[in-house]
A and B are shown apart, each in its own frame.
Chain A
Amino acid sequence: GIQVEQSPPDLILQEGANSTLRCNFSDSVNNLQWFHQNPWGQLINLFYIPSGTKQNGRLSATTVATERYSLLYISSSQTTDSGVYFCAPRDTGRRALTFGSGTRLQVQP
């Protein structure tokens, strides 16, 4: 199956800082989702982005499918951004998502 690598594994930021999270995947994909798992364990959809760039407020994401990576940008981080960010691509042969190990983000006031 598809292999997913996320970096960095851990990230500590001061409030107001910007960050870039990276996701590399090993095979062609026709779906890729980014999730935020908040401290209460809920998985919140951030982006559906199999290719191209999308923005939603302070967050934006870019997927370059031909080079097999996706980036999540967080600008002007807030303490509420803390949690774990997962990248989950879906390869062309399956319907289910394959999750990376996540980036654990801590935003300090």
Chain B
Amino acid sequence: DAGVIQSPRHEVTEMGQEVTLRCKPISGHNSLFWYRQTMMRGLELLIYFNNNVPIDDSGMPEDRFSAKMPNASFSTLKIQPSEPRDSAVYFCASSLAPGGGLRVAKNIQYFGAGTRLSVL
């Protein structure tokens, strides 16, 4: 399995520009998470999806941030307009949550390599 794939790995942009980060979860996983890592706040959850539906977006900083999951194999995190304080590493993670007729899954989260965003 290729694991969780994020793109781009690095993004440098100017203040005010739109930024789109992309994530492909592990095939078969039904939960997807976006986290952000900064020196000041550490690793914190932004939003997570279950079966493509946003469940908890309480960590999304403000209206400039939006996330979508149009299908089970793709998610985007968009920042518009971007600001210097958005500079951080953004991680995507996926897991197989228990549900339906499945045995209880371990719900282990696997992380992508992250996107390092710099907003100048």
Contact = CB atoms under 8 A, between A and B. Distances in A.
- Which label, helix, strand, loop or mixed, suits the secondary structure of the A interface? loop
Contacts, number: 50
A90 interface: yes
Interface residues of B, number: 24
B55 A95 contact: yes
Given A96-B33, A96-B56, A99-B43, A33 B109 contact: yes
B107 A31 contact: yes
Interface core residue of B31, B42, B55, B91 (most chain A CB under 10 Å): B42
Q: By DSSP majority rule, is chain B's interface helix, strand, loop, or mixed?
A: strand
A95 B107 contact: yes
A74 B113 CA distance: 24
Contacts of A86: 43
Interface string A97-109: 1111110000000
Interface of B: 31, 33, 35, 42-45, 48, 50, 55-56, 89, 91, 95, 97, 106-111, 113-114, 116
